[in-house]
Structure 1
Amino acid sequence: MTFSLSTLNTVSQKDALAMIEPLVEKSPWVAAAALTERPFSSDKHVAKALVKVILSEDMPSQVALFNAHPELAGAEAKAGVMTKESTSEQDRLGLMHLSSQEAQQLAHLNSAYKSKFGHPFILALHRVPDREALFEIFERRLKMSEIEEHTATLSEIASVISARCRHAFGDPLPSQVPNTLKNPE
């Protein structure tokens, strides 16, 4: 999904909402509140507006937002009902094609995490190089206190939103620019 900021800034509220709702996992209220900052000057401005809404909420509202996220390779993934964005992010690490051992390990981690913190584990998968790193991060975060983990989760969501905004409205990342367009060194 790629849109222009000028389109986002000039379309109706309903159309603008449809453009930015996918940037925040199943939380249209965040997108609606962020639109009050139109016109946006950059993809970073869109991301900042969305994150600002989340950070201005109380802890129970933030946890409700956390619960809108799917588990990694969880029931929503198996049922094929995750958002297009989450499906793409999880598929990049092959989470839809785990070995039986990895699937069991991830199911155990998901269950332990949800038991301890009351919401799914959220990680900005675009920053994770491989499944081994994913499992290491998951294990480490399971050892955090509730407040440390709440803060870490907010940070991960902010990173996901920034990446989604960059993809939707920003310039392509350097790795996405064809070699013919890169400046010679």
Structure 2
Amino acid sequence: MPRENTALGAVLLPINMITQLLLYPVYLYLFAEGVAPVGASAIEDTLLQWFLAPFATAIALHQILKAVLLPALFSRLLAWVGVAIPFVISHLIMEIFAANIVMIEHASIFAIILAAIFLFFVATFVVGEVVSKITGLAYPEHALLTMTTAARNAPMMLGLTAIAMPDQPLVYAAIVIGMLLEFPHLTALR
């Protein structure tokens, strides 16, 4: 019996991302009313610049390298890229954090942000456990539900938020802190 449901998880990834994008204006309305002068064109530009263009570039580069390189060299390159990804993401997070060092100036807010993020992760875990128990999910679906509810598309949300809510460094810092805590949280869940 498989220990995880990878095929269903792969299907859920784009669904989760599209759902988050569609709900983003609702979240702005509910939680940032009057703060975010965002229009549909700003969200479209952000999606194109931060996600669709890099995605299309990555796909094109992948296909070009696959056609040009020998299969063994291409496999080694993919393995190296796989190893480099966590370091690149860590560097980007440090750069974003360094650019928004306002947390030092707002130490009391920092504690509140940490508590809110911690409660979010606890709540998503409890919801996943309760739903799995009530519905009698088998382990693969239970694991998938737990990981799906805990994982967020924080880099995507950071990009959208930077455009939708300019000059809000505390909001950016909260998203970055969530990213920093999300990785150990997902590792612990595993």
Q: Fold-level match, TM-score > 0.5?
A: no
Q: Hey, which of these two has a bigger chunk of helix by percent?
A: 2
TM-score by length of 2: 0.24
Structure (1 or 2) with the larger CA radius of gyration? 2
